[in-house]
Amino acid sequence: MSMQKSPAPDLTRIILQILWIGILIASSLWILRPFLPSLIWSVMIVVATWPFMLKMETCLWRKRGLAVAAMMIAMLTLFVVPFSLAIVAIIDNADRIAAWVTSFQGQALPALPDWLSGVPVVGSKLNTAWEGVRTGPEGIAARLVPYAGKLLSWFLSQAGSVGIIALEFLLTVIIAAILYVNGETASKGVFQFARRLGGHRGEDVAMLAAKTVRGVALGVVGTALVQSLLGGIGLSVAGVPAATVLTGVMFMLCIAQLGPGLVLFPAVIWLYWSGQTTWGTMLLVWTIFACTIDNLLRPILIKKGADLPMLLIFAGVIGGLASFGIVGLFIGPVVLSVTLRLLGVWVADTEVSPSREDAGAGP
């Protein structure tokens, strides 16, 4: 009895099917392109705060509508409104900031206070180093002015107009509210899609991605929000001008893992320079507290999600800002972190081939 040969696969048909699916996916992404930054950001927010929303629902008589309303109010109050005001303040005061930076051209920084120069062991060395920096060939201000101007221009070009930023925030809030209401349905759909792609391993990968998103949001954004708020309070109490603008700058620096010290320490120097030594000393103590609290806060928050390399977060922040604008500050670290974790799981899940097992086995 002769065996029947299976028909040869129709290679042309398979290629056309794959090509058509690729065209559909590319066309869908192109149509959704204006909404992708807000969609990704809202998904990140909902995934990170979903446990809090469930607790809120339990406290509000298990009414999903009340819980969603409470989460939207909290999002607007604690995050969207302050961040939007900071961005708007930076853009509106761009000319003033540029003029203030340019005014330092040709000016020398002040000498260190006598009490700081008189500190044993390190005081004289610190004073010598500071004098060399501030009275160099051109002075530190003249050397930094061109770079500061380029940095401000680049930030403004990436931030875009105020209207676009407001629209992205509005879309983010609306999409987040929809996801909060239909969270279980969306989660079920994601897990079904992951199961279809990779079976049970696909479900594990989807859960890992969710934990990574939560780790980025809580560990990076949460810590940055706390540090920038503490720094903003210190600047406001000490009477430093443009405290709102500086708070927004601190928030972005904290997201990039550079810390609030790049804003707070110059503010302390300005207070000492202007003769407000008492406020300068108080702000210095507050600055040390705000700069070091992340060592306690970040591990606690990241422990709830996933541990993430700081270099990866920094690259994600810069690349995300260049690719997606302001929203990319949050999208970049999330995408790179999820990709890194999934790649690590895929590499660690390789099976040992039979030949290798035989070669490594003893007699």
Return the number of other C-beta atoms located less than 10 Å from residue 66's C-beta: 14
Instruction: Enumerate residues 6+ apart whose C-beta is below 8 A from 127.
Output: 111, 112, 116, 117
Structure tokens at 226: 């706390």
Instruction: Enumerate residues 6+ apart whose C-beta is below 8 A from 204.
Output: 345
pLDDT-based confidence at residue 130 (cuts at 50, 70, 90): low
Judge contact between 325 and 160, C-beta under 8 A.
Answer: yes
Structure tokens at 68: 């969603």
Q: How far is CA 67 from the centre of its chain?
A: 26
Q: Which amino acid is at 242?
A: A
Where b means 16+ CB within 10 Å and e means fewer, 203-214 reads: bebbebbbebbb
Judge contact between 106 and 198, C-beta under 8 A.
Answer: no
**Is pTM beyond 0.85 here?**
no
Sign, CA torsion 242/245/251/252:
negative
Judge contact between 204 and 349, C-beta under 8 A.
Answer: no
Per-residue model confidence as pLDDT tens digits over 189-201:
988 988 888 777 7
- The more confidently predicted of residues 134 and 204 is 204
User: To 10 degrees, the CA torsion angle through 176, 177, 182, 188?
Assistant: 10
What average pLDDT score do residues 337-362 get?
60
Sign, CA torsion 291/297/299/302:
negative
Choose the most confident range, by mean pLDDT, from 146-160, 167-181, 215-229: 167-181
Instruction: Enumerate residues 6+ apart whose C-beta is below 8 A from 215.
Output: 301, 302, 304, 305, 306, 307, 308, 337
3-state secondary structure of 256: coil
Residue closest to 305 by CA, chosen among 48, 45, 52: 48
What average pLDDT score do residues 275-289 get?
87
What average pLDDT score do residues 114-131 get?
67
Q: Is the pLDDT of residue 308 over 80?
A: no
Per-residue model confidence as pLDDT tens digits over 23-62:
999 999 999 888 887 888 788 889 888 988 999 999 999 9
3-state secondary structure of 23: helix
Amino acid 152: pLDDT: 57
Quote the percentage of the chain above a pLDDT of 70: 65
Q: CB-based burial of residue 125 (10 Å sphere; 0-12 exposed, 13-18 middle, 19+ buried)?
A: exposed
Residue closest to 267 by CA, chosen among 245, 293, 241: 241
Q: Which amino acid is at 86?
A: A
Residue closest to 89 by CA, chosen among 243, 236, 222, 221: 243
Judge contact between 45 and 172, C-beta under 8 A.
Answer: yes
Cα–Cα distances in Å, from 329 out to 100, 126, 209?
26, 36, 19
Q: Is the pLDDT of residue 325 over 80?
A: no
Structure tokens at 34: 């204006």
- The more confidently predicted of residues 223 and 140 is 223
Structure tokens at 259: 């810390």
